[in-house]
Amino acid sequence: MQKQIRLNEDYQNQLRQEIEEASPFISDVTPVDILKAEYADNFKFSDCFEALQTRYKTVRRLRRDGNCFYRAYLFQTFEHFIINKTDTKQYLRFLKAIEGSKADLMALGYDEIAIEDFYDLFVAEVKKLPDISPAEAQQHLLKLLCNKEEAVYLIMYARFMTACYLKQNSILFEDFVGDVASFCMREVEAVDVECDHPQIIAITNYLGVGVEINSVGPKGNLEVIKLPEDADFDQGFRAKLLYVPGHYDALYQ
C-alpha cells in the first residue's frame, strides 16, 4: 500500500514538473483578466481580480519553478532602467550595490573563486542596460532571463546578494528564521527554492529597488504590501508583482 502511495506521488510530481516545464520561463504581456478566468472556480480570487483589474492592465506569467520571484524582480528592474534613461540616481545606486557585493560576500567568508563568474556576469549585464534601446527591452530581457545559462547565473547571484544582506543583518532576522546561516543555505542559496518575505526584504534593501506585492487577502480582498516598508523607497521605482500561494507574476499598469 505504501509503495503504491509513493508511486502515485512520484507520478503526480512528474506530471506537475512536465506541465511546469511546458510553460515559458517568462511570457509576453497578456491582459490581466486572463487571471480572473484562470481562478474562476475560487470565489476569493474572483473578488480579488475584480479589484486587480482597476489597478493593472497586463501581466507577465512566470514559470512555477521556485525562481519566479527573482526572475520577475530582475525582469521588471532591468526593464525599468532600459526604458527610463533619466532615472540615473536609482540606477547608479543599484549598480553601486552590485559592484560592492563581491567584497561584501568575501567579507562574510565566501570564496572569490566560487562567486566571481556569477558576479562578473551580473555586473556586465547591469552596465549594458543604459545602452539598450527601449524598443529592444522586451526582446533583450526575454532572451537574457529565459535561457538556461545566463539566467541561471543571474538568479543564483541574486540569491547570493539576498543571503549577503540576511547575514549582514542577522540580528534583525534570527527571531523569524532561526539560525540565519542555516536558513540561507536551506532557503536562499539552494536552487529553485521559493522566495518568502525575509528574502524579499533582504534583496530589495540590498539593491535599493523595492517591490509592491498584490495578493489575495483572507476575505478575498486585494491586499497591497510594499517592501521594504520605508518612505525613502516610495520615491523610486518598485517592481509590481502578483502573489498567489507559492507563486509570483509581474504586473503592468
Residue-level pLDDT at 2:
55
Looking at residues 23-47, what average pLDDT do you find?
83
Phi-psi region of 93 (alpha: psi -120 to 50; beta: other; left: phi over 0): alpha
Residue 145 has pLDDT above 60, yes or no: yes
Q: Are 22 and 14 in contact (CB under 8 A)?
A: no
Residue 203 has pLDDT above 80, yes or no: yes
Strands 210-216 and 222-227: antiparallel
Residues 6+ apart with CB under 8 A from 32: 49, 52, 53, 56, 57, 58, 59, 251
Q: Are 121 and 145 in contact (CB under 8 A)?
A: no
Three cell numbers, residue 42? 475560487
- Other beta carbons less than 10 A from residue 28's beta carbon: 10
Phi-psi region of 243 (alpha: psi -120 to 50; beta: other; left: phi over 0): beta
pLDDT band at 39 (very low <50, low <70, confident <90, very high): confident
Q: In what order do the strands lie in the sheet with 26-31?
A: 26-31, 58-62, 247-252, 238-244, 210-216, 222-227
Burial-class residue 35 by CB neighbours within 10 Å (0-12, 13-18, 19+). buried
Q: Are 202 and 166 in contact (CB under 8 A)?
A: yes
pTM: predicted TM-score of the whole model, two decimal places:
0.90
Q: Are 129 and 81 in contact (CB under 8 A)?
A: yes
110: number of CA atoms within 13 Å, CB side? 26
For 188-235, give the DSSP string: ISSTTPPP-HHHHHHHHHHHT-EEEEEEE-TTS-EEEEEES--GGGGG
Q: Rounded CA gap, 135 and 105, in Å?
A: 35
Residue 9 has pLDDT above 60, yes or no: no
pLDDT band at 23 (very low <50, low <70, confident <90, very high): confident
pLDDT for 169-182, tens place per residue?
Answer: 999 999 999 999 99
Q: Which CATH architecture has domain 27-252?
A: Up-down Bundle (1.20)
Contacts of 184-191 with C-beta under 8 Å, sequence gap 24+, read 188/159, 188/162, 188/163, 189/159, 189/160, 189/163, 191/66, 191/156
Residue-level pLDDT at 184:
98
Residue-level pLDDT at 20:
55
Nearest to 90 by CA among 242, 251, 241, 232: 232
Residue 220 has pLDDT above 80, yes or no: no
Range in 11-20, 187-196, 209-218 with the lowest mean pLDDT:
11-20
